A = this chain, B = another copy of it.
Amino acid sequence: MDVSPPYTTVIFTSHLADAKGYAETAAAMEALAAQQPGYLGIESARGPDGFGITVSYWADDASARAWKQVAEHQAAQEEGVRRFYSDYRVRVARVERAYTCPRPISP
């Protein structure tokens, strides 16, 4: 995800409680997110303790908000609350600068 800032990021942290069907739902949501206007990218990591962080990137706040409202995503969010996660947190943030190694994003 090599877009230069500024852009919007949604940081989703969660503890996975029930993994049954989770991988399929998560993959379907990643594929659906990629079809939304303003989508820039998504990255995820989950450790053996069940704690995970997913960071998605959006052109602006409006596209991040719109994704939250997509019906199929809302159904997955409801299943997340009801079953997948013991807890989760969402933070919406504006990326102001970025740097990378080995190669720079901006000159």
Binding site for B on A (CB under 8 A): 5, 9, 11, 13, 43-48, 51-53, 55, 61, 81, 85, 87-102, 105
Contacts of A95 in B (CB 8 A): 11, 91-93
> Mostly helix, strand, loop or mixed at chain A's interface?
strand
Which residues of chain B are within 8 angstroms of A51 by Cβ–Cβ distance?
43, 45
Contacts A11-B11, A11-B55, A47-B46 given; does A87 touch B102 at CB 8 Å? yes
Complex Cα distance A47/B51, Å?
A: 10
B91 touches A94 (CB 8 A): no
A48 to B98, CA, bound (A): 26
Q: How far is the CB of A27 from chain B (nearest CB, A)?
A: 14
Q: Which of B5, B45, B46, B92 contacts A96 (CB 8 A)?
A: B92
